């Protein structure tokens, strides 16, 4: 079973960078502290489903996409 905190961390970071957002900008948009975004991206935080859904909205993706392991991990 994948480590979903790491999967979420990688997917949030990739989606944020693809939109050209800083951690601070994403945090401001989502109404949370920048250090919380940093914690998510380092797999140190375990955000609620509600927050995952809000982040997905701000990152123009879906909660399912944020929790889907990269292709290389699914093949293992």
Q: Where are the beta strands (DSSP E) in 1-76?
A: none
- Long-range pairs of 49-52 with CB within 8 A, sequence gap ≥ 24: 52/8
pTM score of the predicted model: 0.90
DSSP 3: -
pLDDT at 71: 79
What integer is the mean pLDDT of 19-31?
A: 96
The rounded mean pLDDT for the chain is: 94
pLDDT at 66: 98
The terminus-to-terminus CA distance of the chain in angstroms comes to 10
Helix, strand, or coil here: 39? helix
**Which pLDDT band, with edges at 50, 70 and 90, does 44 fall under?**
very high
User: How does DSSP assign 11-23, residue by residue?
Assistant: HHHHHHHHTT--H
């Amino acid at each position: 079973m994948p480590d979903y905190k790491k999967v979420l961390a990688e997917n949030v970071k990739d989606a944020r960078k693809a939109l050209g957002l800083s951690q601070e900008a994403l945090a401001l948009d989502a109404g949370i502290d920048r250090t919380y975004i940093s914690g998510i991206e380092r797999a140190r935080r375990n955000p609620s489903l509600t927050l995952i859904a809000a982040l997905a909205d701000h990152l123009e993706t879906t909660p399912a996409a944020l929790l889907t392991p990269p292709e290389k991990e699914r093949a293992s």
